[in-house]
Amino acid sequence: MTSVEGKSVIVTGAAGGIGRATCELMARQGWKVLAVDRDAEKLAWTDASDGIRSAVADISSEADNQRIVAECESAFGGVDAVILNAALSLNGGIDDFPMEDFDRLVAVNLRGTVLGIRAALPALRRRGGGSITVTASAHGLGGDVGFWAYSSTKHAVVGVVKCVAREVGWEGIRVNAVCPGPTRATGLSTEFEEQAPDVFHGLAKAIPVQRWGEPQEVAAALAFIASPAASYITGIAMPVDGGTISGSGCLPPAAAPDSN
Ligand SMILES: NC(=O)c1ccc[n+]([C@@H]2O[C@H](COP(=O)([O-])OP(=O)(O)OC[C@H]3O[C@@H](n4cnc5c(N)ncnc54)[C@H](O)[C@@H]3O)[C@@H](O)[C@H]2O)c1
């Protein structure tokens, strides 16, 4: 019983790199997709796509989260899966990072994810079960200089996922996190490339597979974890990171003999 034909999914952050790739993949797989973002202009790509409906919403608003769940139910007859993928990334050191930026990160990345889960649960129960998948980050599993604020919100959502999975598993609702490593061609990676080009271009050497990931590679993991094919998987935080967080930190990964 792993068919997704006719099932419906809400994907937030759908105007961005990973969210769009996820919507496109899941629509091809047969899901009915509600693509959600706060950026109406960048959601315009959905106009030309079959099986994908769009909604403009701010995930830090409780009312918006409830509205998109209601819209998915009235448009598609129910909600079978929710992929809470929207997030902000703001970086800087611990001494002088603006506290208002920290508050924004918490409001969107942590509180927004919690609001998304709370809005989705009644709809998933009405359907007799389903899945919630949160896009966390490799920064939800480990830390880096300048990432304490973003990373703390991503560690927190991993904690939420693990606890809620234990609370609602008996109801047939699975709750998981997917933790992307460096993923190119997204709003977040473009910002990183502009702000720190040397670090951006040197980073591949620290990744065992020696390259940045593609949004489609993260989308494949999100679509699988959200689907009935992953029916016995819940409460996990799965890295999709080319091996980035596999190391002890003592030595760099092996590189091809002809690389310098
Ligand atoms: N790109 C990477 O290297 C990387 C690595 C680890 C984790 N991630 C995570 O992947 C997810 C997707 O990010 P991406 O890389 O595609 O970046 P992206 O910037 O391309 O996409 C993020 C999207 O979220 C939307 N968004 C932000 N705040 C919102 C709000 N309040 N309400 C509704 N929408 C909002 C933005 O408009 C944007 O379209 C995020 O959770 C991010 O933290 C990305």
**Does ligand 1 have an atom closer than 6 angstroms to the CB of 58?**
yes
pLDDT band at 193 (very low <50, low <70, confident <90, very high): confident
pLDDT of 198: 86
Residue 260 reports pLDDT greater than 70 = no
For residues 236 and 155, what is the distance between their CA atoms, to the nearest angstrom? 13
Cα–Cα distance for residue pair 74/94, rounded to 1 Å:
45
Q: pLDDT grade, residue 63 (50/70/90)?
A: very high
What atom of ligand 1 comes closest to residue 150's alpha carbon?
43
Could you give the CA distance from residue 39 to residue 157 in angstroms, rounded to a whole number? Answer: 23
CB count in 10 Å sphere of residue 197: 10
239 Cβ below 6 A of ligand 1? no
What separation in Å is there between the alpha carbon of 85 and the centre of ligand 1? 6
The CA–CA distances, whole Å, from 111 to 58, 75, 105, 130, 231 equal: 12, 26, 9, 22, 27
pLDDT band at 226 (very low <50, low <70, confident <90, very high): very high
Residue 2 has pLDDT above 80, yes or no: no
**Distance in Å from the first CA to the final CA of the chain:** 49
Q: What is the mean pLDDT of residues 166-185?
A: 97
The separation between CA 7 and the C-alpha centre of its own chain, rounded to angstroms, equals: 19
Cα–Cα separations (whole angstroms), residue 139 to 29, 144, 237 = 29, 8, 11
- Take atom 11 of ligand 1 and give the residue whose Cα is closest: 85
Q: Hey, what are 161's tokens?
A: 């996922």
**Which atom of ligand 1 lies at the shortest distance from residue 19's CA?**
16
Give the Å distance between the CA of 170 and the centre of ligand 1.
Answer: 31
* Structure token digits, residue 73: 């139910």
pLDDT score for 1: 53
Q: What is the pLDDT of residue 187?
A: 84
- The SS3 assignment for 34 reads strand
Residue 217: pLDDT over 90: yes
The residue to mutate among 12, 37, 90, 193, having the most atoms of ligand 1 within 8 angstroms of its beta carbon, is 37
- Of 31, 76, 147, 150, catalytic: 150
Q: By percentage, how much of the chain surpasses pLDDT 70?
A: 99
- pLDDT value at 83 more than 90: yes
Any ligand 1 atom below 6 A from CB of 60: yes
Decide if pLDDT at 244 tops 60.
yes
Tokens standing for 125?
Answer: 């129960």
Asked about 232 being catalytic, the answer comes back as no
- Residue 157 Cβ contacting ligand 1 at under 6 Å: no
User: How far apart (Å, rounded) are the C-alpha atoms in residues 20 and 11?
Assistant: 9
- What the chain holds in terms of domains, given with CATH numbers, is 8-181+215-239 (3.40.50.720)
Mean pLDDT, all residues of the chain: 95
pLDDT digits (tens, 9 = 90+) for 90-100: 999 999 999 99
Residue nearest to atom 27 of ligand 1 (CA): 87
Query: Which ligand 1 atom is the nearest neighbour of the CA of 109?
Result: 41
- Per-residue model confidence (pLDDT) at position 200: 84
What is the pTM assigned to this prediction?
Answer: 0.97
Give the lowest-confidence range in 59-73, 129-143, 162-176, 196-210: 196-210
Q: Per-residue pLDDT averaged across 98-110, rounded? A: 98
Instruction: Identify the helix (H) or strand (E) that includes residue 187.
Output: helix 187-195
Q: What is the pLDDT of residue 61?
A: 98
